[in-house]
Structure formats: C-alpha cells, structure tokens
Amino acid sequence: MIAPSLALGLRAIRLTLRRPQFLIPLFLMPSIFLAVNTGGLAATTRLPGFPPTTNFLSFQLPAAMVQSLMLSGLQAGIAVALEIESGFFDRLITAPVPRLAIVAGRLIAAAALGAIQVAFFVVGGLLFGAQIAGGILGVLLVIVLGSLAATAFAAIGMAIAFRARQASVVQGMFPFVFAVLYLSSAFFPRKLLSSPADSISALNPLSYIADGLRTPIAFGLHGAPIVEGFAVTFGVIAVASLLAVAGLRWRLADAA
C-alpha cells in the first residue's frame, strides 16, 4: 500500500511540475489578487471592527494561500478526470495495486505541493513587507495547515472527478471556487461581512481554514483559531476522503 501510494504521488508531482499551464496559475492568479487587494483595499484596516494586524498584506496572505490551494484541488480533480478519459485509469486498475493507493497517491502529491505553495506565499509576502507575527513556529504551523488544507481540497476535487469522469465538467467548477472564497472570511473579517454573507461564512469551513492560516501570520500564536483551523481541516479531509473513496468505488462499479 505504501510503495504504490508513494510512487503514484511522485508521478502526480512530476506531472504537475511538467505542466506549466497547470502550475503557473496556482501562483500567478492568487498573486494578482493579492497585489490588487493590498494595493486598493488597505484602507479597510481603518474600518471599525477590523482586527488589529501587523499590516494588510499579512492579513491578505492567507486569502492568496487558500485561493491557490483550492485551485490546486480543482486541478487534482482535472488530472484524475484526464486519467479516466485517456485510459490511464484502466491501466492502474488492471495492476494489482490496492484501490486506496489510487486516492492516497494523489493526496500525498497534494500535500507536498500544498506545502510548496504556502511556502511560496510566505517568502513572497516577507519580500514585499509582510510580517509573520507567530515567528518561525508560526511559519511552520502555516505550512503544515496549508499542506493539510491542500489534501482536503484535492480529496474534494477527486470526489467530483470520479463522478464527473470528464475534465471539462471538473473545470466547470472553477466559478464555484470563487463563490466559496468570497462567502468565507478569506478576504475580510467575518464580522465586517454584510448579511447573508456573514451567516454563510460562519458555516463555511473555508473561513476556519483561512482564519487558522491567518492567525499565526497576522495576529500571533493565539490558540483558538489555530486549533479550530486544524480541527476543521481534519474534518474536511475525513469527509472529502470518504467521498473520494466512495466516488472511486462508484466509478469502478459503474465502469464494470
């Protein structure tokens, strides 16, 4: 189980790194949003109720991170759908490989790439004046939580791909990524969102993941949001992984 999972994970990482059309948007698009938001909306920190932060770039960095991680999850789904379309999936399932390794390999790759994505935004943020309130430990927490969040989003992408079977259908979920992002506290504090976005964001798991990433960067090592962030991320991983495995089983049964 471990060897094929690692081998499939390594393959997924290789293929992502060799597809610039997949890789570049993960870094470029959130960077553009980050530049636009920090350039044009920095004055929002003076709004009553905006939490005291080291600076607005530090506050916005987690938004870029979750945006990048969600896009990465969507791409994981597209990659799986492409494997189904191309017939590589058939090759996989005619090998004596445990079925769970097919899901686990992709999740291992997502975790590794997620850590790289988060580290990129930490380094980029520091270069452009962000401050990490939580110090080195804060950076480590952000990288670990980001890596776990990437795993959760990849599991969601896989669950969709096994059902959809077509890359174009998975790609069609792209606008949904932005809807989920804007209906969370990724860009603005939850209490500054107007109704019904504030209520929806309270129910949106992404809010807790974003706040879990934001706290060590913008506010320091304050326990509750970080613990909530990890707890919600583990919850999403568990539910999404179950959905991905169920999707795989459905796919195998449907194809047979």
Partner 1 sequence: MALDCLGVPPHAIVTTGLEKRYPRGGTYAVRGVDLAVEEGEVYGFLGPNGAGKSTTVRLLVTLLRPTAGTAFVAGHDVVKDPAAVRASIGVALQDAAIDPLMTGRELLRLQSVLHGLGRREVGPRSDLLLDRVGLAEAGDKRVGEYSGGMRRRLDLAMALIHEPSVLFLDEPTTGLDPSSRLLLWNEVRRLRDQGTTVFLTTQYLEEADQLADRVGIISGGSIVAEDTPEALKAEVGRPHVHVSLADPADLARALEVAASVGRPTPGVTLECLDVSVEDGARELPALVRVLDDAGIAVAGMSVVRPTLDDVFLQKTGEHLADTDEVPA
**What residues line the site for partner 1 (CB under 8 A)?**
3-4, 7-8, 11, 14-15, 18-19, 86-97, 255-256
**Distance (Å, whole) CA 134 – CA 253:** 48
Smallest distance from the beta carbon of 206 to partner 1, in angstroms? 31
Burial 69-104 (b: 16+ CB within 10 A, else e): bbbbbbbbbbbbbbbbeeeebeebbeeebeeebbbb
Residue with Cβ nearer partner 1 (22 or 120): 22
Smallest distance from the beta carbon of 20 to partner 1, in angstroms? 11
Residue with Cβ nearer partner 1 (4 or 77): 4
| CB-based contact 179:197 (threshold 8 Å) | no
Q: Which DSSP state fits 55?
A: -
| CB-based contact 53:45 (threshold 8 Å) | yes
Residue with Cβ nearer partner 1 (137 or 255): 255
Residue with Cβ nearer partner 1 (96 or 175): 96
Smallest distance from the beta carbon of 140 to partner 1, in angstroms? 31
Amino acid letter, residue 81: A
Smallest distance from the beta carbon of 150 to partner 1, in angstroms? 21
**Distance (Å, whole) CA 137 – CA 222:** 12
Residue with Cβ nearer partner 1 (14 or 191): 14
Smallest distance from the beta carbon of 174 to partner 1, in angstroms? 23
**Distance (Å, whole) CA 256 – CA 194:** 49
